[in-house]
Amino acid sequence: MATIIDGKKVSIELLKELQKKTDKLQKKPSIAVILANNDDASRIYVNSKEKQANILGYKSMVYKFEKTVKQEELIELINKLNNDSNVNAILLQLPLFNHLNENELIELINPIKDVDGFHPLNTGKLYSNLNPFAVCCTPKGIIKLLDYYKIDITGKNTLVIGRSNIVGKPMAALLTNRDATVTLAHSKSENLKEITKTKDIIISATGCPKLIKKDMVKQNSVIIDVGIVKQNNGKLMGDVDFENVKDKVSYITPVPGGVGPMTIACLMENTYELFLKQN
Amino acid sequence: MATIIDGKKVSIELLKELQKKTDKLQKKPSIAVILANNDDASRIYVNSKEKQANILGYKSMVYKFEKTVKQEELIELINKLNNDSNVNAILLQLPLFNHLNENELIELINPIKDVDGFHPLNTGKLYSNLNPFAVCCTPKGIIKLLDYYKIDITGKNTLVIGRSNIVGKPMAALLTNRDATVTLAHSKSENLKEITKTKDIIISATGCPKLIKKDMVKQNSVIIDVGIVKQNNGKLMGDVDFENVKDKVSYITPVPGGVGPMTIACLMENTYELFLKQN
Q: How far apart are CA A248 and CA A202, in angstroms?
A: 13
pLDDT over 90 at A28, yes or no = yes
The pLDDT value given to residue A40? 86
| Residues of A with catalytic roles | 49, 93, 116
Say whether B137-260 and B30-110 share the same fold: yes
Q: What is the mean pLDDT of chain B?
A: 97
Tell me the backbone φ, ψ of residue A17, rounded to 5 degrees: -60, -40
Which CATH number describes the domain made up of A27-110? Answer: 3.40.50.10860
The pLDDT value given to residue B1? 84
**pLDDT tens figures, B231-244:** 899 899 999 999 99
A203 CB near a chain B CB, below 8 Å? no
Q: For the ranges A36-40, A214-218, B5-9, B96-100, which has the lowest average pLDDT?
A: A36-40
Percent of chain B with pLDDT strictly greater than 70: 100
Cβ distance B179 to A172 less than 8 Å, yes or no, reads no
Domain residue ranges of chain A, discontinuous segments joined by + = 27-110, 137-260
Which CATH number describes the domain made up of B30-110? Answer: 3.40.50.10860
Using an 8 Å CB-CB cutoff, list chain B residues near A121. 120-121, 124
**Chain B nearest CA to A218, separation (Å):** 15
pLDDT over 90 at B41, yes or no = no
pLDDT over 90 at A217, yes or no = yes
Catalytic choice (B52, B113, B116, B156): B116
**What amino acid is encoded at B17 in this protein?**
E
- CB count within 10 Å of CB A98 equals 8
Work out the angle between the directed axes of helices B260-278 and B40-56 (0-180°, nearest 10): 50
The pLDDT value given to residue A39? 87
- CB count within 10 Å of CB A274 equals 25
With cut-offs at 50, 70 and 90, classify the pLDDT of residue B198. very high
With cut-offs at 50, 70 and 90, classify the pLDDT of residue A58. very high
The answer, as to whether pTM is greater than 0.95, is: yes
Nearest CA in chain B to A181: B185
Cβ distance B176 to A185 less than 8 Å, yes or no, reads no
Q: How far apart are CA B65 and CA B75, in angstroms?
A: 13
Give every CB contact of residue A203 below 8 A, 6+ residues apart in sequence. Answer: A142, A158, A159, A160, A161, A171, A224, A226
Domain B137-260 class in CATH: alpha beta
* Stretch A24-53: mean pLDDT: 94
Q: What is the mean pLDDT of chain A?
A: 97
Cβ distance B125 to A127 less than 8 Å, yes or no, reads no
**What amino acid is encoded at B102 in this protein?**
E
A121 CB near a chain B CB, below 8 Å? yes
Interface test with A, best of B183, B186, B197 (most A CBs within 10 A): B183
The distance of Cα B165 from the centroid of its chain, to the nearest Å, equals 11
- SS3 at position B64: strand
pLDDT over 90 at B55, yes or no = yes
pLDDT over 90 at A180, yes or no = yes
**pLDDT tens figures, B67-95:** 999 999 999 999 999 999 999 999 999 99
Nearest-CB residue to B183 (from A183, A186, A190): A183
Cβ distance A157 to B184 less than 8 Å, yes or no, reads no
Q: How far apart are CA A149 and CA B171, in angstroms?
A: 32
Q: How far apart are CA A273 and CA A266, in angstroms?
A: 10
The pLDDT value given to residue B70? 98
Angle at A140 between CA A137 and CA A145, to 5 degrees: 120
**Chain A nearest CA to B204, separation (Å):** 14
pLDDT over 90 at B138, yes or no = yes
Percent of chain B with pLDDT strictly greater than 90: 95
Please choose, from the candidates A58, A32, A174, A186, the residue with its C-alpha nearest in 3D space to the C-alpha of residue A113. A32
- CB interface of A with B, residues 126-165, below 8 Å: 127-130, 154-157, 163, 165
pLDDT over 90 at A41, yes or no = no
The distance of Cα A91 from the centroid of its chain, to the nearest Å, equals 13
According to DSSP, residue A2 is labeled P
Interface confidence, given as ipTM, is 0.96
- CB interface of B with A, residues 205-264, below 8 Å: none
**pLDDT tens figures, A71-123:** 999 999 999 999 999 999 999 999 999 999 999 999 999 999 999 999 999 99
